[in-house]
Structure 1
Amino acid sequence: MFQQTAVLDGHELPERACSDQAQGDWAMAGSLRATPELQALHALPLWPLPTLCLLLGCFAAFGLSAYGMVEGWMPIPLGIIINGLAIYGAFTPLHDGTHRAVSRNRFINDVISTASGQLLLPGCEVAIYRILHLAHHKTTGEHHEDPDEPATRSLSGFWLYGIFLEFYWVHWYLKRFSQWSAAQNARVFLGSCLMASWYAIWIASPWALECLLIWWIPQRIGAVLILYAFAYIQHPPGVEQRAYPIRATGILRPNKWLGPLMLGQNAHLIHHLYPQIPWYRLEAGWRATEAQLLRRAPPIRGYWGGWGQDAFPNTETPWRWVRVAATEDIAQDIRLFTFESASPSPLPIYEAGAHIDVRLEPGVVRQYSLIGRPGTTGRWQIAVKREAGGRGGSIAAHARLQQGTLVEVGNPRNNFPLQASAGRHVLIAGGIGVTPFISMAYALAAKDFALHVFARTPAHVPFGQAMQRFPFAARIQLHCDDGKGFENSEIADALGPYRAGDRTYLCGPAGFMERVEAVAATAGWPAGAVVTENFSPLRPSRPEAPFTIELARSGRRLRVEVGQSIVDVLEGERFSVDTVCRQGVCGTCRCRVLSGEIEHRDSVLTAAEREEGNQILLCVSRGAGNGLLVLDR
C-alpha cells in the first residue's frame, strides 16, 4: 500500500520555453506579482512626491554648492563631493523613468526623468537611456551583450568603465546600429551630438577650469558611485538573468548608515523582477516577497568585499540516482512511484509543494511533485497520470519505471509554497491536481482549511477510498459529476464567502482552474487571494491561431503567426519594443489596445484591467477571434 504521508503535484508540468530554473523563477515572480501587496506597490501616483523631493533636493544641493565654489566660500574638495553625491542622487528618477515607474502619466514620467538625467548625461533624454538600460535588464550578466557587464566583471574593469562610460555606451550602440529603426538611430545621434556639444562648449570656453571642478570631476564621481551601487555590488559576474532571474541580482544586508544612501537599491533584486515599482517602495517589495524569494536562493551580500561562492549557481541541475522501491496504481491511469536513494546518502528533506526533475530517457526530462510528509527523510514518492495524448513523458514513466529500476532525479525545488495567512485555506483540486494539496493539508493541520476534489468519478480520484485514512479525512469533500459537468453553484459553495485573510489554492487542468477563478471573482474573492500553480505563462483558453495587428499611428498591418509573439513580429520589422522578462511578469511591454479582442496570458493585469480590454502584454498575450487587434503604436 502507498505510504500515507503527503502528496504533492503529480501531473506533468508544461513544457518550458526557457531553462527550468528561469521558468520556475519567473513563475514564482508572476504568482507574487498577482498578490494584493505587490499590486498596491505597482500603483503609481500622478505626481510622485518622494521623487520630486529627491530631484529638487539634488538640484538645489548642486546649485548651492556650485555657487559657493564660484564665490569662494565653499571649499573646493567639499563642493566636489557634494556635487558628486547630487549627481548620484539625481540618477534615481532617471533610472525609474526608463521603466515608467515615476508617474502613471507617461508625459510627466518622461519629463521628470529626463530632467533628472541632465546632471549626469546632459542633452540625453530618457528615451535614449531607456534603450541601454532595458538592454541591461534583458541581458544581465551576458558577456558582450549586457551594456553594464564590464562594471561587474572586475575592480579594474569597474574603474575603466566609470571613467570612459559614454564612450563605451556609444561603442555598444554602434555595434548594434543596424538592428534599430532609422527614427531611433536619428534620436540617439541627436542626443549624442547635444552631449558632445556640451563638452566642446565648456572645453573651449574661458570657464573650462570651473567646469572641470564644478561638474566634470563630480560627474565622474557620481558615475562611479552609480556603477558601484547599481551594478558592481548587485550582480554576480557571469550569472545570467536569462538563466537565473532570481540569482543574477543580489540583496544587500541591512546597514543603518549606508542603507538610506542606496535609495532603495539595497533591494535591487526587486527592481529587476518588478521594474515598475518605484525606488521608494523597493524595500517594501522585498519585505512582501522575502519569505517566498528566499526559497529560490537569491545572493545576499554586504556593501564591501566580493561575492561568496554561493552566489554562483551550478549551471546544471545536481542529479542523483534513485531506485524505484515500489509502484502502485492508485486511480484510473494514475500510478504511484516510491523512490529510495541508490547510494548511502539519504534523500534530502523538502517542503510542501516541492517537485523534482525526473530523467525518463535521454533528452526526456519531466517534472513531478513529491509525495511525502514535508520535512521528513527516507523515501520520495511521485504520482503520474498516463496521458495518451500528451508529449510522451507520462507514457515513458508508466512503461519504464518498474520496481528495481534506477533513474536520475534532480534536487527538490518549490514553486507552489503555502502563503502565510490568518484566515481560511480552501484547497480546490481538479482530478490529479489533488496531489499538492495532501502535503499542504499535513502542513495546515493546525489551521482552518478544507480540501475539495472535483473529478469525473471516484475511480478518477488519486488514492480513491483510501483518502479516508488520512488524518485530515474529515476535511476532504469529493465532488463527482459522472462526466456531466459541474454547476458553478457547486464550485461557489466549495469556495464559500471571502473574508479578509482567506486564501484559495487551485491545481488541475487549465480550463478547470480558469473556471474556478471566474467563479471566485463573481463570488467576491480578490484575485490576489486565489493562488494557482503556474510554471509558465497562462495556457491559451483556445487553440493558438494566427492573427493580425494594426499599428494605429502608421496604419500598418502585420501578421502574427502561430508560435510567434507580437514582440517577435515588431522586432522583426525593426520596431523598438521595450521588454525585459518576456514572460508576462514585469509589465515593461504593456501597450494600449484601441480595439480588438485579447487573449491574456500575463501575470500583470488585474481582473478589472482585463475586463476593460484596453491593455495587452505584447510578449505573451495574443489577439483572439477573427477581428483585427489595433495597437496604440
Structure 2
Amino acid sequence: MPNRSHAAQPPVPAIEWPTVLLCLVIYSGWFGLTLFYRHIPWPLLALAGGWCIAWHMSLQHELLHGHPTRSRRLNDALGFPPLTLWLPYQIYRLSHLRHHRDEHLTDPLEDPETYYLTEERFGRLGKPALAFLRFSNTFFGRITFGALRSMVIFLWLHIGACLRGNRAEQRIWLPHALGVILVLVWVMGVCQMPIWLYLLCFVIPGRILASIRSFAEHRAAPDQAERTAIVENAPIFGLLFLYNNLHVVHHDAPGMPWYRIPAYYRAHRAAIVRANGGLVYDGYWDVARRYLTTPHHRGPHPGFAAPRAALPGRPASRPANVDQIAAAGD
C-alpha cells in the first residue's frame, strides 16, 4: 500500500515488554473476575468479563502477527488458551493471515473476513434471507443477533467437518477441546461459576465488543488502498482493540507492535488519510450513528458479476466468512 513509503520504524526488540505486560494483565484479570465473580454485580461482571474476552481476542491478533517474541511457538502458546470457548486460536491465525493479502481485501471468495457476497450467491437468496442480510449489515444487527448467530454457525460448520473425518480440522479442534476442558475445570470446578453465567457475562459480551471493531473496518473499492477504514478519537475502544481502530496502519505494517501504532498514525496522518480516500470515522459513535439501522453496504460485492474459481476445497458459491454464511441463511 502507498503508506509503506513512510519513514522506517525502529527495529522491534527481541522481547516486547509492553505486550508481555499486557498478557499478564489480561490473564490475571480473567482469573480474578472468574474467581471473585460472586462479589461483582452482574451488570459490572458482564462489562468487565466482556472487556476481558474482547481484549484477549485483540491480544491473540497481536500474537499471531509475531509478537511479543521472535518464537512463533511461544507466541502461539500465549494465544492458545480458549477463553472464548468457541474460537480455536489456530483457525483465527490461519484465517486472519490469509485476510492480509491486500490485493484480495473484501473479495467474497478470497478474503475470509469479508462481509460481502458474490453476485451469484446474492442472486440465490430468497426474501427472508435478503431481509436478514440487510439487518445483519446494520450496526445494531451485527452486534446483536448477528454476533450470536455467527458463533453458532461457526461451531456447526467446523464441528461438523470434524465429525465427517476432516483430519486438518481434527488436528486443530482436538487440542482446542482439551483447552476448553481446562478452562471449564477452572470456571465451573474451581470457581463454581455456572456455565450459563460464563456465557452471558464473558463469552457473549466479548463477541459483541469484538463485532464493534470489525463492523466497518473494510469496504469494497477499486483501489485496494481505499478498502480499509480509520476510526479516530476512540481512546477507550482504541485500547480495547489495541489500536486496530487505526486499521490502515495495521494493514500497511502488520508487524508493527500495537503500542507504536498511534504515534505512527499521528506522524503520517495526512498521507494515510489521503491514500485511503478519506475513509475516516470520528469515533465508534460516528459508526453507530451512520449505520445503526442503515446497512453498511447493500447488495453483492460490486466488483463481481459472476463467481470465479474458489480456493481449493471451497465451492465458488459458498462465502468464506462465517457471518456471511449466517446472514445468508445456510
TM-score normalised to structure 2 length: 0.66
Asked if 2 retains the 8 angstrom alpha-carbon contact of 1:101 and 1:278, the reply is yes
Partner residue of 1:97?
63
For the residues of structure 2 that align with 1:94 and 1:187, how far apart are their CA atoms? 19
Which structure: larger Rg? 1
Partner residue of 1:299?
279
- For 2:44, what is the secondary structure of its paired residue? helix
How far has the Cα of 1:53 moved from its partner?
1.8
Structure 1 residues 173 and 67: CA distance shift in structure 2, 3 A: closer
Question: 2:36 pairs with 68, 71, 88, which one?
Answer: 68
Partner residue of 1:80?
46
- For 2:290, what is the secondary structure of its paired residue? coil
One-letter identity of the residue aligned with 1:76? W
One-letter identity of the residue aligned with 2:26? C
Gaps of 5+ in 2: 117-135, 304-310, 313-330
For the residues of structure 1 that align with 2:145 and 2:112, how far apart are their CA atoms? 14
Partner residue of 1:119?
83
How far has the Cα of 1:63 moved from its partner?
2.1
Partner residue of 2:93?
130
Instruction: Report the RMSD for the aligned CA atoms in angstroms.
Output: 4.0
How far has the Cα of 1:173 moved from its partner?
6.0
For the residues of structure 2 that align with 1:257 and 1:189, how far apart are their CA atoms? 34
Asked if 2 retains the 8 angstrom alpha-carbon contact of 1:93 and 1:112, the reply is no
The equivalences for 1:216-615 within 5 A come to 216-229=200-213, 231-236=214-219, 239=220, 243-256=222-235, 258-296=237-275, 297-302=277-282, 303-304=284-285, 305-306=289-290
For the residues of structure 1 that align with 2:271 and 2:241, how far apart are their CA atoms? 24
What per-residue deviation string (whole Å, max 9, x for no partner) do you get for residues 586-630 of structure 1? xxxxxxxxxxxxxxxxxxxxxxxxxxxxxxxxxxxxxxxxxxxxx
TM-score normalised to structure 1 length: 0.37
How far has the Cα of 1:208 moved from its partner?
8.3
**Larger fraction in strand:** 1
How far has the Cα of 1:130 moved from its partner?
0.8
For the residues of structure 2 that align with 1:174 and 1:278, how far apart are their CA atoms? 34
Asked if 1 retains the 8 angstrom alpha-carbon contact of 2:106 and 2:218, the reply is yes
Q: How many residues align?
A: 269
For the residues of structure 2 that align with 1:146 and 1:265, how far apart are their CA atoms? 18
Structure 1 residues 167 and 102: CA distance shift in structure 2, 3 A: farther
For the residues of structure 2 that align with 1:106 and 1:204, how far apart are their CA atoms? 31
For the residues of structure 2 that align with 1:145 and 1:217, how far apart are their CA atoms? 34
- For 1:277, what is the secondary structure of its paired residue? coil
For the residues of structure 2 that align with 1:123 and 1:234, how far apart are their CA atoms? 20
One-letter identity of the residue aligned with 1:268? H
Asked if 1 retains the 8 angstrom alpha-carbon contact of 2:158 and 2:169, the reply is no
How far has the Cα of 1:195 moved from its partner?
6.6
Gaps of 5+ in 1: 1-25, 317-570, 573-633
For the residues of structure 2 that align with 1:58 and 1:258, how far apart are their CA atoms? 15
Partner residue of 1:153?
137
Asked if 2 retains the 8 angstrom alpha-carbon contact of 1:88 and 1:225, the reply is yes
What per-residue deviation string (whole Å, max 9, x for no partner) do you get for residues 134-156 of structure 1? 23334542346544334983332
How far has the Cα of 1:189 moved from its partner?
3.7
- For 2:227, what is the secondary structure of its paired residue? coil
For the residues of structure 2 that align with 1:123 and 1:254, how far apart are their CA atoms? 30
Asked if 1 retains the 8 angstrom alpha-carbon contact of 2:47 and 2:201, the reply is no
For the residues of structure 2 that align with 1:69 and 1:48, how far apart are their CA atoms? 31
Structure 1 residues 185 and 96: CA distance shift in structure 2, 3 A: same
How far has the Cα of 1:292 moved from its partner?
2.2
For the residues of structure 2 that align with 1:253 and 1:78, how far apart are their CA atoms? 27
Asked if 2 retains the 8 angstrom alpha-carbon contact of 1:161 and 1:168, the reply is no
For the residues of structure 2 that align with 1:67 and 1:132, how far apart are their CA atoms? 33
What per-residue deviation string (whole Å, max 9, x for no partner) do you get for residues 72-98 of structure 1? x32232222211111121222200122
One-letter identity of the residue aligned with 1:31? S
